[in-house]
């Protein structure tokens, strides 16, 4: 099973999502999303190539966490890099990748 880590933009995405959920929803909703993210990362770690490759040049893959959030990641030599956790309610122009 591959190790994984969050890029700095993905960490910021997770912080922003957590802040939003705590201030507009509840701790229970945040805990559910964190659990769903943990389960998704486990699936990625077990089979990193199962989700859609959206850029062969960048080696970037995409998987849906839920209808509001999408996870973008790269398979590195010995690890998985979680590149972004994007809130799909945002304008698509806000989704950038610094790889």
For the domain made up of 3-89, give the CATH fold: YaeB-like fold (3.30.2310)
72, 35 Cβ separation under 8 angstroms: no
The domain spans of the chain are 3-89
Whether residue 40 contacts residue 63, with contact meaning beta carbons closer than 8 Å, is answered with yes
**Closest of 99, 91, 90, 11 to residue 54, by C-alpha:** 99
What parts of the chain have a pLDDT lower than 50?
none
Position 93 scores a pLDDT of 72
- Which pTM was predicted? 0.91
At 95 the pLDDT is: 74
Q: What angle do CA 11, 1, 57 make, to 5 degrees?
A: 60
pLDDT at 96: 72
């Amino acid at each position: 099973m591959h190790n994984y880590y969050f890029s700095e933009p993905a960490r910021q995405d997770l912080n922003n999502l957590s802040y939003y959920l705590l201030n507009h929803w509840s701790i229970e909703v945040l805990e559910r999303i964190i659990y769903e993210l943990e389960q998704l990362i486990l699936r990625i770690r077990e089979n990193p190539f199962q989700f859609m490759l959206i850029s062969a040049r960048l080696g970037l893959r995409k998987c849906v966490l839920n209808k509001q959030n999408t996870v973008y990641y790269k398979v590195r030599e010995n690890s998985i890099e979680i590149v972004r956790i994007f809130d799909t309610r945002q304008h698509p122009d806000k989704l950038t990748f610094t790889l």
